[in-house]
Structure 1
Amino acid sequence: MKLNQLVAAGLMASSASFANAAVSDSEFVVEDIKVIGLQRVALGAALTYLPVQVGDRLNSFRITQAIRSLYSSTHFERVEILRDGSTLVVKVAERPTISNIIFEGNDDIKDEQLQESLDGNGVRIGEPLDKTVLTSIENGLKDFFYSIGKYNADVSAIVTPLPRNRVDLKLLFEEGDAAEIQQINIVGNSVFSDEELMKDLELQFDTPWWDFLSETRYQQQTLQGDMETLRSHYMDRGYLRFNIDSTQVSMTPEKDGIYIALNVNEGEQYTVSDVELVGDLLGNEEYIRLVLPINVGELYNQAEVTYTEEFISKYLGRFGYAYPTVTTVPEINDEDKTVKLTLSVDPGKRIYVRRINFEGNTVTSDSVLRQNVNQMEGTWLSNTSLETSKASLSRLTYMEEVEFETTRLPGLDDQVDVDFNVKEQPSGSFNAGIGYGDRTKLSLQAGIQQNNFLGTGKQVGLNVSTVSYQRSAQITYNDPYFTIDGISLGGTIGYSEFDGSDFNVIQYNSKRWSVGANIGYPINEVNRINFGLTYSSVELYNTGYYEQTEQFYNQFRDATDPEAPINYDSYQASVAWSRSTLNRGLFPTAGSSQRASLSVTTPNSDVNYFKAVLDTKFYFPLSRDTRWTVLARLRLGYGNGYGETNGNEQILPFTENFTAGGADTLRGFENNTVGPRGIIRGNTNSIVGPDGQVYPGGSATDGISISRRSLGGNAMALGGLELIVPTPFVDAEYDNSVRTSMFIDVGNVWDTEFDYDKYKDLTQYSTNSGGLIDYSDWTQYRSSAGISVQWISPMGPMVFSFSRAIQEREGDDAKFFTFNIGQTF
């Protein structure tokens, strides 16, 4: 091929000037076009980027345009335009295709974050590689490391050629150690000491070893935040003219230490001389003025000014004015050190909601979500309704995250769409348990619970248990959206066979079946009241002899056949109040919940008793991201009988006693072992049973034996504190499914009807279960401390607890490790 003209292109700008110089006097008409070097790019696609067609007259200017157009397609690494007679020859070298992207050595930046950054620069697998952007990516990553104090960091982009014009791209990181802050100096302060100013800063230096929350590693963004904290400290105390004149950040020659100096000008304090409201306050000026926190004659406070602006904006937002403009204009008088504040309010237009949309709900139907949304379509936008709706959705146990945003409609300045973005979590659980003990042996249980059945929000459960102490089956159903007003309807059917001797309680066997229904009414967004009625039939047999149970047995025992089973029926009416301001249904980190319930058997029941329970929890976040939170909880319970039967005073059936010990009450103690124990009264002729207990063998009663097993009590008080901490080695994005906490549990179960004086002077035959104590004394509490890890697994909630008993009583059965699957949180 004879080449009459050559224009070589490197970079677009330089190639254009070269082309003009080479062909300035040699124009020609293109009769044919050939493209050489295509591999991945189709010929038709390449020609679309070439602004030249057959028949066009080609000159240096048109060649420049062609080169620029081909480079702008991002497909080509090198472009040459040649002429062979009247044929235009385009010779290209395609950019290699990225076959794989590898990150190595990165600790401070996650792979996902790096890939997002590369995506923003068009660097992704399957796309052509533009090597010119690699340098800017390297420099950008280095700048990031420098901003967090890693001045020895290095980032290298390594490109490895592969067959078929493909490459592997590896980003190799050498992060090094972050520079530690050696000293922070605040220069120019006289009103406040260095110590007083430093305690509010996030960056610290020379901290004690135990203060592991302090940040001693230099970070540029954190320093900017600390400067704003310093500014707020002065501005909130009247120093309106405060200013940070300069900031110096220097490092040691080894680049491992940082010195920070902040030069401040404190100025003087200013007081508020007047507060004026101007603009359209929708007729609410009087109310707003009454609640303003800014008072004439007080020191200027920037935090109060900001709060006032936000309060007015939120207040107007309640009435549909979602985008108001509230501006505070200060008029400073430097002579008398006063400032007049003028709050200018422009409510803007009232905003209406056109449509409410839901995204992210792959299981839950939109209709279920709308049941929890207070904001209505077609009405004005209310920020209060939106926040309440978000809280209601977040408290659903099958929702992990809930966010919302308002989208203004193009061409309409008074309408928005509200988009709720939800992230669901498993709504069902497979409940299972496995354990082994010297008395319980191997125990197994299983069940299925679905809190969002087929995405309808209905709760359906089937639980079957075959542990050593119980065989049971229960079906539960609850429809929280029985009516559009939020009235709920549910019911249960259950059957169980129970052996107390294998449950760490006194010896007895029972058969029980029950059926019940309940209905709930919402009082408001956070309060609810429920009513229920349950019928149950109980048969007791194989009962042991215990002082505390005889009074109950005597109501039903057949004098002619004292060993016959005891049967009784009851109708139990209940009422319960619940309140919840928790930020999530599972693993909450803020807010509180309370539940109080009272159940009473009706007078026509064979047993007459009542039970009252109060359960409350408070979450106090310690950090802004709520990853550090304190949980305080308290559970109180009391029950007793009322009336008489056959001349016997009614008492709380011992089968309804409260028990404690185990994962959900007192960790560190064996399940159901805390509280009063059974007392057996007998003499020296008493018989020792196969379980080690003493049973009466004669009529004399000159001594007692204490059972190894718990009886439970009619009163209960349990509480505790937990410090919820970030789970080690687990990313923050999994906080909603994995939780670690350090806890202290404390509490007791006691019997208010127990008469200690009746037994205290009697001889004790057996002390292997501990001596007699006053079971009516509520101060005989137990306590424990430990660490708990909870995980919402695909099988359901799992709880692992390592605990140690701190306060225990003689005969208690301490337990170091507990493990539960399907435990209720």
Structure 2
Amino acid sequence: MKRIAALILLASLSTGAFALEPFVVSDIRIEGLNRISAGTVFNYLPINKGDRLTNEEAQQAIRALYGTKFFSDVELERDGNILVIKVVERPSIAKLTIRGNNDIKTDDLKKGLKDIGLTEGETFDRLALDRVQQELIRQYYNRGKYNVSVSPHVTQLDRNRVAIDIEIREGKVAKLKEVNIVGNTAFTTKDIEKGFESGTTNWLSWYSKNDQYSQDKLSGDLKKLQSYYMDRGYADFNLDSSQVTISPDKRAMYIAADVIQGDIYHISDTHLLGQLILPEDTLRKLVFVHNGDLFNRRAIEATSDSIKALLANIGYAFAKVNSVPKLDKVNHTADITWYIQPGPRVYVRRVIFQGNTRTEDDVLRREMRQLEGSWYSQAAIDRSKIRMQQLGYFKTVTIDKQTVPGSDDEVDLTVKVEEQSAGSLTFGVGYSQYSGIILSSSVSQRNFLGTGDQFSVSAERSDYLTQISAGYSNPYLTDNGIGIGYNASFSRADYTDLGSQYASYSNSTKSFSTTLGFPITDFDRLSGSLGIGSTKINTYVGYTPQVLVDYINALGHNTIHTWTGSLSWVHDTRNSYWAPTHGGQLTASVNVALPGSTVQYWTFNGEANHYWPIGKGFVLYLDGKLGYGSTYGNQKYENTTADTALGPGIGYKAGQTVAFPFWMNFYAGGVTDVRGFQDNTLGPRACAGTSANGGPIAAAPNGFCSGSTYSYAQPIGGAFKVLGTAELYLPLPFLKDINTARVAWFVDVGQAYNSISNFRTSTLDASTGVSLHWQAPIGPLIISLGFPFRTQPGDSQYEERIQFTFGSQF
């Protein structure tokens, strides 16, 4: 038998290294295989039976087998005309352990190791392990840990296996002791460093980690340094050098940056050259610098971006706009020219959806504002993305464009979505300070069978409330977006034991309604509904506030039948369903108890809110709400009652016009309202029972009732309500998904009134505090810590610092 070749460095040897006479391979035999199948080897082997084997082909065969990284040694031998391939398999990784890592999660590390083939079950490659060691050290260096050590240990096991143990000693983070900018005379170092991520230790360093050195953060800060000057006229600013010094114990870092400020430049002229496509006057409106202005690189780049965006909206998807400043160093002026290269105008050939395993393509396609076969429009694509995010079905939505091979005027769009649960099957127990124990069960689906229809059935039981409801809606009954919905409900509530938050009476209500919705614009929707309902109210003499008892007695009915009609308008520009960061909502609705109802009344509800991102993860949210109700027509009371809390001589008398029904009153105060106060406790209150002369018992200024069944006045709400909220959502560095939880500092103001004529800004209650909204495994959870700082007489007794509720929607 004659050896043909061997050894791992065979590929670098010359053909003359072989003393081989070419021969025709009659068969191939492989020796040394244990885990790897012969078929796998043959798949990589460039030699087949019947081939004529030469020195060059033998080298290629060895290179190919080494390239698989399955083998640590490969030899070719000849046995007659049989080619014998002898291999030594690399060991497999039986176990991979990482310990000592706190700064980087084990799962993240193992994911990175898997990407380079170092994972359990794979073939062990010593070179890959060395690369991993260097990469881990680099990652820790980027986190400012320069005294880190990474020690991999390989243990040989039986059956040609190995166990790998990577021991990490992270050490301490190197802290920045000094950041020195040399050469800056125009600005103070404090002003320049305001936007830096790096800095010396201060009272917020525990949160911002600004004093932990990172090469990535330093690179970003140096770019911000350059931008700071160039945005303020220093067009020839130059960063001469930067040095980073580390102490011998690798615990302290010192940064120095040498700058050459240069001179202040003003804009002398601006030009638009190239293929303008649009009239120059139109493009000039997007130029944000003008003659005489200070040189401002940010404004110059914003001009380029705005022109590109405008061209992208009319089909020029690959437009280029390059700004070229020409500096006059004698006169310190800058002449700016924007060169416009629109490229070809492109159509969208196809829109492809990926990742929607449950949701039908049609549900996504009907939200697309970029149509197939039409000009490419970046604005339409951006709007399509927002509409899909607003559905609430997807965690993420991305839209990518790809050129069509062989065509320079067509692109395909790929819409990639990551689905999240849009429904739930719940059997649970919750708790609220006001409702006590809540037993609930519900089936809800906002994306029923992937069609985009919404369906829900729920039942709830608490200390005072029993409620059953069912609803179904189809937002696209027609292709142009007309939707229809149905809702039926039954509830029974007994507030007699909740006198401090509700007036003491009980009711039971049955209702059914149907709604039609109509899209007006891409941001506006109008809807109208018709419904029927029946409410039975039970009042209790001596326990229910006398004003409510008298109202029912004068009305002559305790079963209230209502035919309802409503009209509502919604203007929605929010960028997300669950956790918006910009945009807002305007809503207005009118609900009318139609003629033929026991009491004819109407209510108006309006709300305006908006989100503003203000940088570094902070989001400002402002919200205002108001509600108003009144009766209409010429309905009269049937029975006469004594004077009531409305005032002497203003009792409910037969033939008098019916007042606004108390069961439709607006309330203020509570965890989802004016936080820091108990539920429904702000606004009008009344005493139960009558005085010695048969008249109503008046509540004292502090809210107490003398001679009443209850020592305190009970909330009865009013026909007018106003609320205002300001919230600052705070970034949570340890939380990547803001859909899971949000923390905010809030200020709430609000109050309810008997009528709009009673409204005075001086009578508004106000509170401030922090609030956590968390989609917990047990259900949505709200925790608020509120501190009232403005109260009306009698309101302070209803203050409540900590408020929470879970097991119900928020």
TM-score, normalising length from structure 1? 0.86
Could you tell me how far 1:47 is from its partner in structure 2? 4.9
Q: Alignment partner for residue 659 of structure 2, among 638, 648, 651?
A: 651
Q: Alignment partner for residue 683 of structure 2, among 655, 675, 692?
A: 675
Q: Measure the CA separation in 1 of the matches of 2:664 and 2:205.
A: 47
Q: Measure the CA separation in 2 of the matches of 1:554 and 1:445.
A: 36
Q: Alignment partner for residue 713 of structure 1, among 710, 718, 726?
A: 718
Equivalent position of 1:523 in the other structure:
520
Could you tell me how far 1:180 is from its partner in structure 2? 0.8
For 1:361-400, what aligned pairs fall within 5 Å after superposition?
361-400=356-395
Q: Measure the CA separation in 1 of the matches of 2:78 and 2:493.
A: 97
Q: 1:443 to 1:297 in 2, by over 3 A?
A: closer
Could you tell me how far 1:611 is from its partner in structure 2? 1.7
Could you tell me how far 1:681 is from its partner in structure 2? 5.4
Could you tell me how far 1:179 is from its partner in structure 2? 0.8
Equivalent position of 1:553 in the other structure:
552
Amino acid at match of 2:185: S
Equivalent position of 1:632 in the other structure:
622
C-alpha distance after superposition, 1:555-613 (max 9, x if no partner): 422xxxxxxx5233233332222122222111223322222222233344331322222
C-alpha distance after superposition, 1:405-434 (max 9, x if no partner): 111111121111111111222222448553
Q: Measure the CA separation in 1 of the matches of 2:683 and 2:772.
A: 24
Q: Measure the CA separation in 2 of the matches of 1:145 and 1:464.
A: 53
Are the equivalent residues in 1 in contact too, given 2:767–2:786 (CA < 8 A)? no
Q: Tell me, what secondary structure is at the counterpart of 1:199?
A: helix
C-alpha distance after superposition, 1:206-233 (max 9, x if no partner): 3235773351111111111111111111
Could you tell me how far 1:721 is from its partner in structure 2? 3.5
Could you tell me how far 1:375 is from its partner in structure 2? 0.9
Q: Measure the CA separation in 2 of the matches of 1:141 and 1:478.
A: 53
Are the equivalent residues in 1 in contact too, given 2:286–2:306 (CA < 8 A)? no
Equivalent position of 1:350 in the other structure:
345
Amino acid at match of 1:816: I
Q: Measure the CA separation in 2 of the matches of 1:219 and 1:467.
A: 54
Equivalent position of 1:404 in the other structure:
399
For 1:265-664, what aligned pairs fall within 5 Å after superposition?
265-429=260-424, 430=426, 434-435=430-431, 442-503=437-498, 504-544=501-541, 546-549=545-548, 552-557=551-556, 566-624=558-616, 626=617, 628-646=618-636, 647-664=655-672
Q: Tell me, what secondary structure is at the counterpart of 1:203?
A: coil
Q: Tell me, what secondary structure is at the counterpart of 1:455?
A: coil
Report the identity percentage. Answer: 33
Q: 1:239 to 1:780 in 2, by over 3 A?
A: closer
Equivalent position of 1:198 in the other structure:
193
Q: Tell me, what secondary structure is at the counterpart of 1:501?
A: coil
Q: Measure the CA separation in 2 of the matches of 1:753 and 1:582.
A: 31
Q: 1:50 to 1:752 in 2, by over 3 A?
A: closer
Amino acid at match of 2:800: A
Q: Measure the CA separation in 2 of the matches of 1:149 and 1:140.
A: 14
Q: Measure the CA separation in 1 of the matches of 2:83 and 2:710.
A: 111
Q: 1:815 to 1:221 in 2, by over 3 A?
A: closer
Equivalent position of 1:749 in the other structure:
752
Amino acid at match of 2:719: N
Q: Measure the CA separation in 1 of the matches of 2:213 and 2:717.
A: 57
Are the equivalent residues in 1 in contact too, given 2:438–2:807 (CA < 8 A)? no
Q: Alignment partner for residue 799 of structure 1, among 773, 776, 782?
A: 782
C-alpha distance after superposition, 1:352-374 (max 9, x if no partner): 11111222222221111122111
Q: Measure the CA separation in 1 of the matches of 2:21 and 2:573.
A: 82
Equivalent position of 2:730 in the other structure:
725
Could you tell me how far 1:384 is from its partner in structure 2? 0.5
Q: 1:704 to 1:276 in 2, by over 3 A?
A: same
Could you tell me how far 1:282 is from its partner in structure 2? 2.0
Structure 2: stretches of 5+ with no match in the other structure: 637-654, 698-705
Q: Measure the CA separation in 2 of the matches of 1:13 and 1:125.
A: 30
Q: Alignment partner for residue 223 of structure 2, among 220, 228, 232?
A: 228
C-alpha distance after superposition, 1:387-407 (max 9, x if no partner): 111111111122322111111
Amino acid at match of 1:295: H
Q: Alignment partner for residue 258 of structure 2, among 251, 254, 263?
A: 263
Are the equivalent residues in 2 in contact too, given 1:235–1:302 (CA < 8 A)? yes
Matched, 1:99 2:122: no
Q: Measure the CA separation in 2 of the matches of 1:43 and 1:442.
A: 67
Are the equivalent residues in 2 in contact too, given 1:640–1:651 (CA < 8 A)? yes
Q: Tell me, what secondary structure is at the counterpart of 1:532?
A: strand
Could you tell me how far 1:329 is from its partner in structure 2? 2.3
Q: 1:634 to 1:152 in 2, by over 3 A?
A: same
Could you tell me how far 1:194 is from its partner in structure 2? 1.4
Could you tell me how far 1:303 is from its partner in structure 2? 0.9
Structure 1: stretches of 5+ with no match in the other structure: 558-564, 690-700, 756-774
C-alpha distance after superposition, 1:699-720 (max 9, x if no partner): xx99997645321222223333
Q: Tell me, what secondary structure is at the counterpart of 2:269?
A: strand
Q: Tell me, what secondary structure is at the counterpart of 1:68?
A: helix
Q: Measure the CA separation in 2 of the matches of 1:370 and 1:805.
A: 48
Q: Measure the CA separation in 2 of the matches of 1:651 and 1:738.
A: 44
Q: 1:339 to 1:724 in 2, by over 3 A?
A: closer
Q: 1:525 to 1:792 in 2, by over 3 A?
A: farther
Q: Tell me, what secondary structure is at the counterpart of 2:308?
A: helix
Equivalent position of 1:696 in the other structure:
none
Could you tell me how far 1:131 is from its partner in structure 2? 1.3
Are the equivalent residues in 2 in contact too, given 1:752–1:776 (CA < 8 A)? no
Aligned residues: 776
C-alpha distance after superposition, 1:234-268 (max 9, x if no partner): 11122111110111111111111111111111111
Stretch moving more, 581-590 or 178-187: 581-590
For 1:781-792, what aligned pairs fall within 5 Å after superposition?
781=765, 783=767, 785-791=769-775
Amino acid at match of 1:372: E
Q: Measure the CA separation in 1 of the matches of 2:205 and 2:142.
A: 26
Could you tell me how far 1:378 is from its partner in structure 2? 0.9
Q: Measure the CA separation in 1 of the matches of 2:35 and 2:786.
A: 64
Q: Tell me, what secondary structure is at the counterpart of 2:479?
A: coil
Q: 1:621 to 1:135 in 2, by over 3 A?
A: same
Q: Measure the CA separation in 2 of the matches of 1:491 and 1:616.
A: 26
Could you tell me how far 1:51 is from its partner in structure 2? 5.3
Are the equivalent residues in 1 in contact too, given 2:773–2:780 (CA < 8 A)? no
Are the equivalent residues in 2 in contact too, given 1:392–1:525 (CA < 8 A)? no
Stretch moving more, 332-341 or 240-249: 332-341
Q: 1:33 to 1:640 in 2, by over 3 A?
A: closer
Are the equivalent residues in 1 in contact too, given 2:489–2:512 (CA < 8 A)? yes
